[in-house]
Structure 1
Amino acid sequence: MEKPKHHILVCASFRPNGELKGKCHRKNSVAYLPYIENEIIDRGLEDVIVSSTCCLKLCDQGPVMVIYPENTWYGNVDSEDAIDEILDALEDGEIAKDYVLN
Structure 2
Amino acid sequence: MPKPQKHVFVCAQQRPPGHPRGSCAAKGCNEVLQTFWSELQKRNAYDRIGVTYSGCLGPCESGPNVLVYPEGVMYSGVGKDDVVEIFDTHLEGDGIVTRLQAPAGVW
User: Is 63-72 or 33-42 further displaced after alignment?
Assistant: 33-42
Structure 2: segments with no counterpart, 5+ residues: 16-21
Matches for 1:11-50 after TM superposition, within 5 Å: 11-13=11-13, 20-21=14-15, 22-46=22-46, 47-50=48-51
Cα deviations across residues 19-68 of structure 1 (Å, max 9, x unaligned)? Answer: x2142110120232221111012123231011111111111211000000
Question: Would the aligned equivalents of 1:30 and 1:52 in 2 still touch at CA under 8 Å?
Answer: no
Q: What SS is found at the alignment partner of 1:7?
A: strand
Q: Counterpart of 1:45 in 2: which secondary structure?
A: coil
Instruction: State the alpha-carbon separation in 2 of the partners of residues 30 and 66 from structure 1.
Output: 15
- Cα distance in structure 2, aligned partners of 1:56 and 1:34: 18
Q: Which amino acid aligns with 1:41?
A: Q
Please state which structure has a larger fraction of its residues in strand: 1
User: How far has the Cα of 1:86 moved from its partner?
Assistant: 1.1
Structural RMSD (CA): 1.3
Could you list the runs of 5+ residues in structure 1 that have no partner in the other structure?
Answer: 14-19
2:6 aligned partner? 6
Contact 1:4 1:49 in 2 (8 A): yes
Aligned length, in residue pairs: 95
- Whether the 8 Å contact between 2:10 and 2:54 is mirrored in structure 1 is yes
Identity over the aligned pairs, expressed in percent? Answer: 32
Would the aligned equivalents of 2:64 and 2:76 in 1 still touch at CA under 8 Å?
Answer: yes
Superposition pairs of residues 58-77 of structure 1, within 5 angstroms? 58-77=59-78
Structure 1 residue ranges, 4+ long, deviating more than 6 angstroms after superposition: none
What amino acid maps onto 1:8 in structure 2? V
Give the counterpart letter for 2:64 in structure 1.
P
- Indicate if the aligned counterparts of 1:23 and 1:60 stay in contact, CA closer than 8 A: yes
Q: TM-score, normalised on structure 2? A: 0.81
Q: Could you tell me how far apart the structure 1 residues matched to 2:62 and 2:100 are? A: 10
What is the CA-CA distance between 1:85 and the residue it aligns to?
1.4
